Each structure stands twice: as C-alpha cells, then as structure tokens.
C-alpha cells in the first residue's frame, strides 16, 4: 500500500493526493471514469494535473500521448521512461528509435501519421513496472483516448498494454501472431521494443510480421 513518503506527514497538512484506488470518499470507485472531454486537447489538460495515483509525486510531467487525433493506427506502450518523462513525449528513447524505424520500414509512416500512448502516463520511479493500482487509476485516460480517436487498429507493445486491452492474463509470446476484433477496432499484440532491443533477431522479425498484420487490416497495402 502506498504511503505518503518517508518521514510521514503532519496531521494538519493536506493529503498530497485527492484520489487513488482504495483511498478517499469513493473508496476505489473514482478511477472508473474521467470527466467527459470533447477532444484530446481537453483530456490532455485534465491529465496534466492528474493526482489519481502516487506516480504524480515524482513525475516531471504527464506524458499524455502524441500524434494525429484522428489516427487510424494507435500504438500503446507501457509507461514513460526517463527520456519521455523529461521530454513529455512517449517513446523518444532507444525503444522509440526502434519503433520509429520499424514503423517507417514496415508501414511507410512516421509518428505524425499514427498516435502513440502508454498504459500509464507518468514515469514509475527507476523504471519499475507499473503497479495494478496505478494502471487502474490511469486506465480511464487510455479508454477516453481510444474513444476520441476511434482507430481502426491498436497495436499493443508488450505485456502491460496487451493484458490490459485484451483483458487476458496470457503473456505476449502466447497471444501475438494474430489480430483480435475488439468491436470498434482490431487489436494487434506485439512485443515491446525494449524486448526487441534485448533479444534482437527473432523478436524484431516477429514485430515486423505483426506490423505487416496491422498494415493489412488498415488497408495500407499488400
């Protein structure tokens, strides 16, 4: 359970966060929705001051997402790392360079032609995995992003995005290799680029195949 920090907090001081799973008057219910937003810019303004979970404490800024607001293709990663936290944009570090390269080589696009977001919008300290309560708190932003963008294809990058959006406990290795109709869009699970950087050849080749799968679903070529 998260606690307010080393050294504690005097009783008279305000609580540093208004909401988070299991705390506050709604006792975990409040992360079910964000205030309705008319567009991504409005949603981003809400997110920029978000204090729904402890990650707000250490972030430099909220890394909301980047790209075309009406993109047919959305990539969803895990969480911002150090570079993203500093620059305010998803996938600008080493993983992002690989993602940009694969996007260019397999889809013939750059990031302005798609939208890129993460499951969690704030950097977990020391790049640790995002925790279930942080994912639950942040999830309404991703849901709202997808509702506003209405993409045809969502490519999930790695286990966190795949498990969340596909509602599965199965790992990426098991579920990748096919597309899943999700009502409004098709979900194409693939590896996180960091896994490809670690593992190389076969994983990169499988990511390429997954992007080709997305391309065909988008009707972007043979």
Q: Which residues bind ligand URA (CB under 6 A)?
A: 77-81, 84, 90-91, 93, 95, 118
For ligand URA, give the closer residue by CB, 19 or 92: 92
Using H for helix, E for strand and C for coil, what is the string for 126-147?
Answer: HHCCCCHHHHHHHHHHHHHHHH
For residue 18, the minimal CB distance to ligand URA (Å) is: 26
For ligand URA, give the closer residue by CB, 19 or 203: 203
For residue 220, the minimal CB distance to ligand URA (Å) is: 24
For ligand URA, give the closer residue by CB, 66 or 182: 66
For ligand URA, give the closer residue by CB, 30 or 64: 64
For residue 104, the minimal CB distance to ligand URA (Å) is: 18
For residue 70, the minimal CB distance to ligand URA (Å) is: 21
Helix 94-102, helix 201-218: angle, nearest 10:
50
For ligand URA, give the closer residue by CB, 45 or 94: 94
For residue 158, the minimal CB distance to ligand URA (Å) is: 7
Query: Cβ neighbours of residue 147 under 8 Å, at least 6 residues apart?
Result: none
Closest residue to bound ligand URA by CB: 77
């Amino acid at each position: 359970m998260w606690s307010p920090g080393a050294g504690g907090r005097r009783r008279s001081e305000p609580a540093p966060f208004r909401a988070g799973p299991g705390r506050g008057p709604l006792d975990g219910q409040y992360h079910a929705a964000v205030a309705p937003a008319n567009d991504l810019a409005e949603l981003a303004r809400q997110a920029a001051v978000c204090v729904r979970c402890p990650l707000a404490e250490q972030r430099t800024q909220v890394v909301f997402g980047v790209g075309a607001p009406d993109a047919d293709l959305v990539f969803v990663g895990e969480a911002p790392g150090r570079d993203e936290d500093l620059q305010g944009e998803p996938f600008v570090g080493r993983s992002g360079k690989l993602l940009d390269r694969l996007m260019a080589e397999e889809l013939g696009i750059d990031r302005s032609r798609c939208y890129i977001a993460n499951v969690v919008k704030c950097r977990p300290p020391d790049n640790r995995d995002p925790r279930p309560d942080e994912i639950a708190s942040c999830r309404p932003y991703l849901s709202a992003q997808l509702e506003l963008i209405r993409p045809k294809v969502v490519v999930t990058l790695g286990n966190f995005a795949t498990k969340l959006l596909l509602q599965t406990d199965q790992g990426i290795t098991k579920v990748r290799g096919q597309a899943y109709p999700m009502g409004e869009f098709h979900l194409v699970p693939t590896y996180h680029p960091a896994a490809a950087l670690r593992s190389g050849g076969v994983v990169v080749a499988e990511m390429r195949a997954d992007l080709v799968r997305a391309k065909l679903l988008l009707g972007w070529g043979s």
